[in-house]
Amino acid sequence: MASELIEEKLKKLPDCPGVYQMKDKTGKIIYIGKAKVLKNRVRQYFHSSAGHNLKTQLMVSNIADLDYIICDSEVEALVLESNLIKEYQPKYNILLKDDKHYPYIKLTLNEEYPRVLYVRRIENDGAKYFGPYPAGFSVRETLDLLKNIFRISHCKKQFPRDIGKERPCIYHSMGRCMAPCQGNVSSEEYKKLFHSIAAFMEGRDQEVIDGLTAEMYKASDNLEFEMAAVLRDRIQSVKALSQRQKVITDNDADMDVFALAAEDGLSCVEVFYIRHGKLIGRDSFDVSNTVSDSGEALESFVTQYYRGEYYVPKMILLSHETEDETMLERYLFELRGKKTQVRCPQRGANRRIVEMALENAAKNIMNMKTEKVKEQLKANAAIELARALCLEVVPDRIESYDISHTSGADSVASMVVFVNGRPAKKEYRHFRLDPEIGNDDAASMKHVLTRRFTHESRKGDGRFAAMPDLILMDGGLGQVHAAREVLDGLGLDIPVFGMVKNDRHRSRGIVGDFGEITLPPQGSAFRLTAQIQEEVHRFAIEYHRKLRGKHIEESELDKVPGIGKAKKAELLKRFRSIGNIKKASRADLCRVRGISPALADGIYKHFHEEEEQK
């Protein structure tokens, strides 16, 4: 039931196109939509017989206020809706990231010596662009194949400026480049080669193959058998590359296909990129946050998708009908200055393409369900852990700490963070400890936690601003008490427990002031704590080994004649630190593998030179 404020505003809604904004009780915009007739569209949300889905019902229940902006036309409303969604990022709208610029292959056919480039933006510079490709690796792979097949330049030299300045690179020796840097090929020949590349990229494979075949026979007739063999290999490579691109339609047009599938509260848009009748790539987008119906959701998605600097093909196929496909065509025309057909085919070859995209979208929904189940299991683990530890709040953010050192040398601490039951690796932190602390793990832990929980107050440093709901120490009561002492001193009320291990160094249970809790090994809480314990230990050990390896590379032993990397490692393995090596006798040094009596004497004298002089 709408509030009195909303009822009053519904009465004043105009009978014209525009954009409406739904707000929650805090005044935050939670949904933005456009309408051909504002009065009719907005009232539908509050009509008792509207039959909304669960997400729309939830959104409507959170609406405390609404606002609207009148527009001169539907296209203007569509543009304004897209811009406002970009600005306010409402919770219940489809949200696409602006920074996703798809890669293209660029042929600079307007240059004297053309180049083939990897780019992410289309410019009006006279060059030819092919794409977009769904991923950078597919572009790089295609570029490498084109360079090797057509033997064009692999380097970044500018021709004709750099011709003759340097000797040819290794690609020429391997037969993969015709070395235009040496003037071995004229500008006309090089351009002809690039026109063949353009023809191939445009899908005219047979035209390229026929041209290469004619050149091969001509070379053979002229007894140029080496050139004929090169052309034969190039023909085979072109055929192989052509077969890798899936022919999806006999129509030679470029088109993008958008298919939306929805099930059990999850929604996914699958995009097919078809160029010259061939499927060159695909992409998928999770749009589960939308409350719109399928046609409206697709319209909003396409509007946002082409808002960036993307190539707009001649045809766009949709899996569901929109309110007005002609309006979407006008929007795309105003956006790019090119005529684009927007269709929702019901039969024929184009419908089969849409069905194929829908099948892929449905498979993505199944994968999303699997991920959703995993997320639920993680949430259940946190709930189960909270019950076992008698926590008042289910821990969303869990931090864990461990100490690693070698007999007090190279002491380090690790901090790992789990959010919603998953490792948040970007928030992991390492701490190097004061050597004077030695191998006192309790003192080390106090030092680390003091640094961690006073760090966020430092000006301009927000890396430690988020506070944990639970702290798990990799150790027993000693570690727990050390942590509790620091937190109490800082006035922080955060639950702290220790993770203890069995005789086989495997997770056994949780320990606190009240004693030890044994978690069921089959339970999700046990699996979560075991994962956290393994992760914090791994992270500490890796950093410790890194520092220890660095000290092996650079140490006082480097000054001793006859000591190399291998002997240095053996000495540190045996004595653990430079301090212990200094204390060792000649006899002790001789017991180390690879250390001769003469070398042991040299090591001993190096560290006791001043004493012997006395």
d(C-alpha 548, C-alpha 415), whole Å: 19
Same fold, 4-88 and 555-613: no
pLDDT given for residue 49 in this prediction: 55
Residues 408, 439 contacting (CB under 8 angstroms):
yes
Q: pLDDT tens-digit profile of 46-94?
A: 876 556 777 788 888 889 899 999 998 888 888 888 889 888 889 888 8
- Domain 397-550, what fold? Nucleotidyltransferase; domain 5 (3.30.420)
CATH T-level topology, domain 4-88: GIY-YIG endonuclease (3.40.1440)
Residues 6+ apart with CB under 8 A from 142: 105, 133
**Can you list the alpha helix ranges (DSSP code H) found in 202-289?**
205-221, 225-244
Domain spans in the chain, listed from the N-terminal domain onward: 4-88, 104-245, 255-286+313-324+332-367, 397-550, 555-613
CATH class (in words) of the domain with range 255-286+313-324+332-367? alpha beta
pTM of the predicted structure, to 2 decimals: 0.58
**SS3 state at 544:** helix
**Other beta carbons within 10 Å of 72:** 10
10-residue averages of pLDDT along the chain (614 residues):
79 91 91 90 77 79 90 87 87 71 81 85 78 68 77 80 79 76 83 82 75 86 84 78 57 84 87 80 82 83 77 89 86 82 91 92 88 77 88 90 70 87 88 73 86 65 77 88 91 91 76 84 88 89 71 64 82 80 88 88 79 46
In 3-state terms the chain splits into helix, strand, coil percentages (rounded to 5) of 45, 20, 35
Beta-strand relationship, 470-473 and 496-501: parallel
pLDDT, residue 38, reads: 92
pLDDT at 100: 55
Cα 245–Cα 251–Cα 255 angle in degrees, nearest 5: 75
Question: How many Cβ atoms from other residues are within 10 Å of residue 591's Cβ?
Answer: 11
Structure confidence by residue, pLDDT tens digits, 489-530: 999 999 999 988 876 767 788 988 778 888 888 888 898 999
- In sign, the C-alpha dihedral spanning 227, 231, 236, 238 is positive
pLDDT computed for residue 613 by the predictor: 45
Q: Tokens standing for 53? A: 């889905």
Q: Assign residue 440 a region: left if phi > 0, alpha if psi is -120 to 50, beta otherwise?
A: beta
What's residue 117's pLDDT?
A: 87
CA distance linking residue 437 with residue 492, whole number of Å: 25
CA distance 281 to 330: 27
Q: How does the average pLDDT of the chain come out, rounded?
A: 82
Are 442 and 411 spatial neighbours (Cβ–Cβ below 8 Å)? no
CA–CA dist 67, 222 (Å, integer): 79
Per-residue model confidence (pLDDT) at position 248: 54
CATH number of 555-613: 1.10.150.20
pLDDT value of position 229: 85
pLDDT at 459: 44
Q: Given phi > 0 = left and psi -120 to 50 = alpha, else beta, which region is 241? A: alpha
Q: Shortest CA distance to 130 belongs to which of 153, 99, 147, 108?
A: 108
Distances (CA, A) of 40 to 3, 49, 69: 18, 14, 15
